[in-house]
Amino acid sequence: MARVALVTGGTRGIGAGISIALKNAGFKVAANYGGNEETAHAFREATGIPVYKWDVCNFESCAAGIAKVESDLGPIDVLVNNAGITRDATLHRMSKDQWREVISTDLDSIFNMCRHVIEGMRARNYGRIISIASINGQKGQVGQTNYSAAKAGVIGFTKALAQENAAKGITVNVVCPGYINTDMMKDLRPEVLKGIIDTIPAGRLGSTDDIAGGVLYLAAEQAGFTTGATLTINGAQYIAG
Ligand code: CAA
């Protein structure tokens, strides 16, 4: 029986790459999206992957969305927490809304999603939870106190949840992408982006496939002893100890 995988923010960017890679590997995939209807429907048409709209910042919406996916496809075996946003500004210019939106979308969402799948995974003695954090949660980044804090929080959350569930056949891991060629890069001024690429020893931005490959490994049954791990995929831009 094909295993069921749910990817949040799964219709665009890194999330779309992950959804497609999981489908190609034989998973039954559901892709959540937050608001971009046109892109989500084009993604569904192009890939045949069903799409589900809900706000990952909202605890009750996550419960309802997950219940719908499970009634359509079956119990969720693999959860990929990918949805995330940036609202960059130095702290001396950051608004409370810029802080809250990022903490809510990038960190609260991890609790909202995991809380609603963990009991089922524990009952079935199987699960794979993979969260997408960031190089900037590892090293910090000027202009991203909000994002760096949220992504560092995801790493800590992962380590704790991994220990709680290691004896239950559930692995919990985090992937830290470096700078990946997606729409998020379009928010950066060209000279800022060039400065960043100059600091990547690989000499290029990463691709969505670079990240999907790591997620595929963590989603596999064979990865059952890999838990609480941080998988860094950044072209050697930052080498965490
Ligand atoms: N170190 C210290 N201070 C710095 C700095 C640095 N490297 N770079 C900029 N600053 C300071 C400047 O000196 C300036 O200070 P004052 O306010 O005192 O004058 C201030 O920051 C503003 O700098 P800018 O002229 O660049 O003005 P800005 O306000 O328009 O932009 C910024 C600030 C938002 C930080 C901008 O420089 C920027 O976008 N930086 C890149 C942020 C980044 O890497 N974001 C990643 C997005 S992609 C992503 O997040 C995905 C992922 O997971 C990797």
Q: Which pLDDT tens digits describe the chain residue by residue (241 residues)?
A: 899 999 999 999 999 999 999 999 999 999 999 999 999 999 999 999 999 999 999 999 999 999 999 999 999 999 999 999 999 999 999 999 999 999 999 999 999 999 999 999 999 999 999 999 999 999 999 999 999 999 999 999 999 999 999 999 999 999 999 999 999 898 899 999 999 999 999 999 999 999 999 999 999 999 999 999 999 999 999 998 7
**Distance (Å) from CA 11 to ligand 1 centroid:** 28
Q: How many other C-beta atoms can be found within 10 angstroms of the C-beta atom of residue 210?
A: 20
* Helix axes 37-47 and 13-24, enclosed angle (nearest 10): 20
> What are the phi and psi torsion angles at 39 (to 5°)?
-65, -40
Estimate the share of the chain in helix, then strand, then coil, as percent rounded to the nearest 5.
Answer: 55, 15, 30
- Coil/strand/helix, residue 130: strand
- Of 142, 151, 181, which is best to mutate to test ligand 1, by the most ligand atoms within 8 angstroms of its C-beta? 142
| Domain boundaries defined on the chain | 4-180+207-233
Q: Is 205 exposed, middle or buried (0-12, 13-18, 19+ CB in 10 A)?
A: middle
Q: Whose CA is nearest to atom 18 of ligand 1?
A: 92
Which candidate in 147, 179, 217, 238 is catalytic?
Answer: 147
CATH 3.40.50.720 fits 4-180+207-233, yes or no: yes
Q: Is 97 exposed, middle or buried (0-12, 13-18, 19+ CB in 10 A)?
A: exposed
Q: Whose CA is nearest to atom 15 of ligand 1?
A: 90
**Structure-derived torsion over alpha carbons of residues 69, 153, 130, 225, reported in degrees to the nearest 10:** -140
Residues 150/103, Cβ–Cβ less than 8 Å: yes
Q: Is 214 in the pocket of ligand 1 (CB under 6 A)?
A: no
- Of 14, 88, 231, which is best to mutate to test ligand 1, by the most ligand atoms within 8 angstroms of its C-beta? 88
Q: Is 157 in the pocket of ligand 1 (CB under 6 A)?
A: no
Query: Is 147 a residue of the active site?
Result: yes
Q: Whose CA is nearest to atom 3 of ligand 1?
A: 142
pTM for the model: 0.96
Q: Is 235 in the pocket of ligand 1 (CB under 6 A)?
A: no
pLDDT for position 1: 84
Q: Where are the alpha helices (DSSP H) in the chain?
A: 13-24, 37-47, 59-73, 96-103, 109-124, 135-139, 145-165, 190-197, 208-219
Q: Which residues contact 90 (CB under 8 A, 6 or more apart)?
A: 142, 143
Residues 142/155, Cβ–Cβ less than 8 Å: no
**Distance (Å) from CA 83 to ligand 1 centroid:** 23
Residue owning tokens 């589900």: 52
pLDDT for position 177: 98
Q: Whose CA is nearest to atom 31 of ligand 1?
A: 89
pLDDT for position 231: 98
pLDDT for position 240: 86
